[in-house]
Structure 1
Amino acid sequence: MHFRTNHWALLVIHIKEKEFHMYDSLRSKHRADIPQYVDELKRYLKGKHIDADKWPLRYLDPCPQ
């Protein structure tokens, strides 16, 4: 995802670890839209017979700038 100016974010689905990993160039953990993206991905995965409802969202640090 690209945001204004030089800000970017990457949301990774870790199937083996059963987690969502978030990399954010500004390290902002209070964005309301990120959990919405995760919810959409959970619905998508459910359609693929993968139950990700309880998978945590982890904000990983350090993150490249």
Structure 2
Amino acid sequence: MNSSYAYRLSKACSEAAKGGDFIDHGWALVKSMHAAGFIITPLDRGPAGLNPKKTLNEMCGLEIEG
């Protein structure tokens, strides 16, 4: 990972809205990372029953351009 990605990732994590429970903070982190240009795809989708065709960005209703 180059320093540009590390910087953007760190900045997105620190800017994620705090508050609520771990789930609320998790979704805020996804939204902040999305705004920084990251697409989040979980490696293990089984336990949560996640749709393997969707990223967490899409599950939050965030559109992926590209």
Q: Normalising by structure 1, report the TM-score.
A: 0.31
Scaled by the length of structure 2, what TM-score is found? 0.31
Structure number with greater CO (CA < 8 Å, separation at least 6) is 1
Higher percent of residues as strand: 1
